[in-house]
Amino acid sequence: MSEAYFGYNIFLSVILFALGVLGVLWQRNALSVFMSVELMLNAANLALITFAQRYGDAAGGALVLIVITVAAAEAGVGLAIFIRLYRQRATIELDKATELQG
Amino acid sequence: MLSLIYFALATVAILSACCVVLSRNTIYCALSLVVTMLALAGIFLLIQSPFVAVIQVLVYAGAVMVLFLYVIMLINPRQPEPIIGNPLVRRWAQILFFTFLLLVCGWLGLLYSAEEVRGPWELVSVKTIATRLLTDFLLPFELTSVLLLVAILGAVLIARRD
Amino acid sequence: MPPALPTIEWGPTLPMILLAATGVMVVLADLVVNRRAPLLSLLIAILGMGGALLAVVYGVSEDARAFGQFVRYDFIGRWGAMIALAGGCLVALISPKTIRDHDLPAAEYFALLVFGVLGMVVLCVSVELFTIFLSVELIALTIYILSGLARQSTRSTEASMKYFVLGAFSGGFMIFGFVFLYGGAGGRSTLGQIGLSIMQMDSPWEMGCLVFGLALALAGFAFKLAAAPFHLYAADVFEGAPTPVAALLATGSKVAGFVALIHLLAPLHEHLTEAVQAFAADAGGLLWFLAALSIVVGNAVALLQRNVKRMLAYSSIAHSGYLLIGAVVFVEGSVTLAEIETAILIYLIAYVLMKVVAFGVAAGLGTRGEGDVEAYAGLAQQSPWLAAAMAVAMLSLTGIPGTAGFVGKFYVFARAVESHYVILVVLAVLGSVVSAYYYLRVIVYMYMRDPAEPAALEPLGIVQGLGLLLASVPIVIVGLFPQLLLVLLTSI
């Protein structure tokens, strides 16, 4: 039965990925940018489990677990960096981070 | 019937993803992302991956996003003005929206219980995943533990106050 | 019936275990020893990385495999791991002064360094998509943390944040691309299996998935290698991060990333079917564009930089371009595997040495070294050895004959000419000529200007001096006797 949703799932995951990319480019607040990246990772997870189900690969769940773990680790470190940036400068707007000229 | 659930979930996912992308209010952004993750978890259930669905809810929506919300509260407590200015109108909008959500969830729940979602659950059972993790995928598994150690070290190092 | 436990091949696994254990030991030792002893952490880190290096040289046979089909110590992988380990040791050696200056937490610094090198080693030898993704993220994570370690400096935090945001973004591209490669190959994640899939491409749907996946994965890699147009973060990160961290980013991370790229492109080297031919042509075109753009942008913008670290950042971008020429030749397929891999490895070795020396001198000068070129004025009078080392590095980066940089460029460009990529080589040579301006400018300032501050320099520590010596002497030796390097590559 999952084969029926295969095409739709892939399409959905591409849409979500595209939305995530849009979010990264559009949002000004660093936290929102990072949340858009999480959206991209979620899209990847969806595609991953869909492909795994389609081709009968039982490792699909293991792979999704790996991706979620990486996302969590990244979130931990990234949020720590944002906290530090905020403490130093009282803002986390990306366009205010200009001490290093781009 | 099942495809109705599927399209409902997919629509919710896309709409809330749009909210994530476009929202100026960080808290709305985070909560919309939670909704997206929950919708995706529903889709995972539909394609017979209950383990992944549960992990998505517990770990991703339940732990990672909660961490996000903590940090948002810590560093971004002042949020832009809400969309609806008048407090009375806003209160009614909230009540109506919440009722609508309750009805939708209830309807989805009824649909789920009506359909018998059969399937080769054994294919993606926890046992299979665990076996694959500890045999074929042993190296990535061990590497993940190093990754988590580094993440803990890093988070403490960067965020601590001296 | 319990599942069969995997057999562990200890030879190939030993380097990784050693590195992981070393990282933990560094932190534990710091807990046990009461007073601050940064040199202890340094010692443990170097012993661990050195031990892992020996394990790779003596304990791993040619083309050893481990973990099923996930790890393979092929020629370029094995040497890549060795270069990464040596590079890690050198970066560790040039770190102490920066640790003192910026009051970095030494034990955690070296532990993160070791874990980062672990990521690089695994990246060099892994031939499976998700292991590659994991090791890329491990390296990235350690660099995010290391760049932000200088607590007082707001530029350090900003550098860390910029690298984080763009790193996470590119990681998303990479994993999405990998997922489509996995899907296009029919649920198989080993690079060998994906290569087979590319050869047997049955349906346009599969091909679409594979092309899409490869394109996105290449975009992710291009970011990690700081190739234009994905290079935007590099200058800021190099400028804001502590100098040895920038060195690590410029050397080890690039070596490992490049080796992984070659592994990913490996199925496209042999054009066994029509489909592969078409695929390789597309990939080659894309890489050509990335290489050319990196060379042009890197050299052009470097001309405008006054700050030495930013200049080195754009120089890294240009060098990524030169390296990508090697990738273009690889995909084109008319040069044999051994030849092109040898050429790339020679370039990588030279590149690591040159960059370590350049960053090492900058680190050795403390805050003065992190400033503009003018700050280097008169260095030759104040510290002839430092100036000499920097001069060697600058000459080598330009590609002056007699240095390792020239040897590396010669081999790669020669192979490119053999494969008829004349335009690209001409562009690269022009780029090198242009780069002479900003590299030699440093030498001019060092030798022909008077020092702005006549204050005497802090004497260089033994450890730093050792690091610079170990890195700069081979540049000259390889430059004068390149056959030695060839013999080395074929014998070990």
Quote the percentage of chain C above a pLDDT of 90. 43
C148: nearest CA partner in chain A: A81
Q: What local confidence, expressed as pLDDT, does residue C462 receive?
A: 83
Query: Domain B2-124, what architecture?
Result: Up-down Bundle (1.20)
Determine which helix (DSSP H) or strand (DSSP E) holds C72, and give its type and residue range. Answer: strand C71-73
Question: CB distance C168–A37 less than 8 Å?
Answer: yes
Whether the CB of C131 is below 8 Å from some CB of chain B: the reply is yes
Question: Are C137 and B150 within 8 A, CB to CB?
Answer: no
pLDDT cut 70: percent of chain A above it: 84
Q: A20 CB near a chain B CB, below 8 Å?
A: yes
Most confident of C96-105, C114-123, C270-279, C374-383: C114-123
One-letter identity of residue C463: V
Q: Where are the domains of chain B?
A: 2-124
CB-based contact (8 Å) between A91 and chain B?
no
**Low-confidence winner among A95-99, C6-10, C237-241, C428-432 (lowest mean pLDDT):** A95-99
Nearest by CB to C161, from A63, A67, A81: name it.
A81
Contact partners, residue C168, CB within 8 Å, separation at least 6:
A34, A37, A74, A78
Compute the distance between CA of residue C87 and CA of residue C430 in angstroms, rounded to an integer: 29
Residue C48, pLDDT score:
94
- Say yes or no: B74 contacts chain A, CB-CB below 8 A: yes
CA C181 remoteness from chain centre? 25
More confident: C102 or C174:
C174
Per-residue pLDDT at B161 exceeds 80? no
When pLDDT is cut at 50, 70 and 90, the band that residue A9 belongs to is very high
C165, C187, C239 ranked by CB distance to A52: nearest = C187
Q: Is B147–C151 a contact, with Cβ atoms under 8 angstroms apart? A: no
pTM given for the model: 0.93
Per-residue pLDDT tens digits for C305-341: 888 899 999 999 999 999 999 999 998 878 888 888 8
pLDDT score for C270: 79
The answer for A 21-80 residues in CB contact with B (under 8 A) is: 22-23, 26-27, 29, 31-32, 35-36, 38-39, 42, 45-46, 49-50, 52-53, 56, 58-66, 68-77, 79-80
In tens, the pLDDT along C158-169 reads 888 889 998 999
Please report the number of interchain residue pairs, chain A to chain C, with beta-carbon separation below 8 angstroms.
112
Does residue B39 belong to the interface with chain A, where contact is any CB pair within 8 Å?
Answer: no
Contact residues on chain B for C134, CB-CB shorter than 8 A: 140, 143-144, 147
Residue B22 clears pLDDT 80, i.e. is over it:
yes
Which chains border B (3 or more CB–CB pairs < 8 Å)?
A, C
Residue A3 has pLDDT above 70, yes or no: no
* pLDDT confidence band for A102 (50 / 70 / 90): very low
Between B105 and C473, the more confident residue is C473
Q: Is pLDDT of C71 > 60?
A: yes
Average pLDDT over residues A11-29: 94
Residue-wise pLDDT for C32-42, tens only, equals 887 777 788 99
Q: What is the pLDDT of residue C277?
A: 82
Q: What is the ipTM for the molecules in this complex?
A: 0.93
Distance between B155 CA and the closest CA of chain C, angstroms: 8
**Strand-strand pairing, C64-66 and C71-73:** antiparallel
**Inter-chain contact C161–A97, Cβ cutoff 8 Å?**
yes
At C251, the pLDDT band (50, 70, 90 cuts) reads very high
Q: Which of C141, C172, C239 has its CB closest to that of A41?
A: C172
**Closest chain B residue to A28, measured at CA:** B24
| pLDDT average, residue stretch B97-123 | 68
Residue C1 pLDDT > 80: no
Kindly state the DSSP code that residue C60 receives in the 8-state scheme. Answer: S
Q: What is the pLDDT at residue A98?
A: 60
What value does the mean pLDDT of chain C take? 88
Q: Does B64 touch chain A (CB under 8 A)?
A: yes
Query: Which of B2, B158, B160 is the best residue to mutate to test the A interface, defined by the most A CB atoms within 10 Å of its own CB?
Result: B158
Nearest CA in chain A to B149: A73
- pLDDT tens profile C384-441: 888 889 999 999 999 888 888 899 999 999 999 988 888 899 999 999 999 999 999 8
